[in-house]
A and B are shown apart, each in its own frame.
Chain A
């Protein structure tokens, strides 16, 4: 039973040894910052040294962990956050119970934070980013074996993608971040040979089982920033709903450009901030949320959200590296839009007809954005 006040606690002999005990990190930690209002906005999904997720840490918990370098419990209780309190003691004890803190002097251990809203933009590099990608997608794949219909098909986005599939048959294709191989299989069934790449072995096992005749699927387990295939060996490379997941999307784009032969096609599909979401932030002050498994979302207007990756930056990046942008399509542009905006945008859509979804700026204001480019050099 705990004492009712910190003053009483500090005076009780039975707590004396606990308060003198130095605590340190049990091992390296990888933390993914979450933006899930209301409760998990600014919290962290924590992965322990064994690469398994442990739970979700709040900002106060992170502060305690940062301080725990062989520091006595009593000193952890009286840190900058304010005077010692029972709730702070509860926090320290919960971290010990979870195995994040152990008794002992300081040992080399690091806390790597992957924060989609970091000041330097949404690119993450270095050991923390490498560990995060390995840990997280192994966990994610382990949970959603073969993908759940709600996740892996992206609400059946296949009809949108099929319009971009190569007309020729028997071409060599790449599906970067294949997941369970749902889209790769559709491409293969048209008679193409698809290298299906993913960091998750469990998901690749599912991909390898997808019916794909008369084409083929070759699973390739790899970090998508280092795909083990030769330069200019791919005719058609697609990367669907992956750029929002990887540590450094531009490193992945560099890899796609390296792999696609001159004249070949690069197809990117990403989640993006829709008209509704953009207006909701600006006009209604709505608190946005980022899917916990996403590190960024693509938007027309920079800084719409802290983790907004401007779509135009990606288009510019591709063009500067010899990829001619042939088409940018917005998908589900008017989804969820409320009046009077729905009528106003609807009127524009009616006027433009089929061209609406590929006309700037509407093509960058859908719930999803598809980018088709051709490597020219």
Chain B
């Protein structure tokens, strides 16, 4: 669930954000500032100390005693560190993010994290497509999602079923909300829940024009 820019060369920070997001999204840290801070420390034990007060985006990450920010600072280390933190945060909040960092004297650094935008400045929304291995059924149990790979069947409510039914091809969450006449935020939450269950493939792209 990331916004991926094209090009022959993926910058170092983007690579680490992508890689870490892919690893963490299977089991992201709880949406709790302390848990996320611990996740940061698990990756960068002795590099720096991280402090996150809130996970409401836009948010700020404060770093202190950073060993790469005392004396000669290596950009590659900063980019790797920030990219990894970005990947963890994106997996936790389930949305693409944009990070700007400001190294300060004495090993301090502040990371400002905001919702990512497209290259031309447009807001990004989730676009979803039902996964090929997912089938929808109506039976005596009601509305059912059938994962044909595992055989698992899950009963779902009408709103979730309708989203999956509509998303036979890549659909933006606003278009799903419009066609299903549901609240746009509800559409986003349903897409995210379906993604957590591996029922849909999701990509973030600009709002449809």
Contact = CB atoms under 8 A, between A and B. Distances in A.
Interface of A: 36, 39-40, 43, 45-46, 52-58, 60-61, 64, 87, 90-92, 94-95, 98, 100, 139, 142-150, 152, 180, 206, 292
B121 interface: no
Contact of B11 (A39, A55, A64): A55
A145 B9 contact: no
Contact of B80 (A100, A143, A206): A143
Contacts of A139: 76-77, 80
Contacts of B12: 53-56
Contacts of B9: 46, 54-58, 61, 94-95, 98, 100
A339 to B, nearest CB: 12
Interface in B2-52: 4, 6-12, 14-15, 18-19, 22, 41-47
Contact of A40 (B7, B15, B45, B47): B15
A111 to B, nearest CB: 14
Contacts of A147: 45-46
DSSP class of B's interface residues: helix, strand, loop or mixed? helix
A36 to B, nearest CB: 6
A150 B74 contact: no
Interface in B102-143: none
B81 interface: yes
Given A53-B76, A60-B8, A149 B45 contact: yes
Contact of A55 (B14, B19, B45, B77): B14
B6 A142 contact: no
Given A36-B19, A143-B47, A147-B45, A61 B8 contact: yes
Q: Say what secondary structure dominates the interface of chain A.
A: mixed
Interface residues of B, number: 28
A260 to B, nearest CB: 32
6 contacts: A36-B19, A46-B9, A92-B8, A95-B9, A142-B68, A142-B76
B181 to A, nearest CB: 35
A52 B74 contact: yes
A58 B8 contact: yes
A146 B49 CA distance: 13
A147 B68 CA distance: 14
A56 B15 contact: yes
A150 B43 contact: yes
B62 interface: no
Nearest to B74: A142
B47 A144 contact: yes
B38 to A, nearest CB: 11
A145 B67 contact: yes
B157 to A, nearest CB: 30
Nearest to B45: A148
Contacts of B11: 54-55, 98
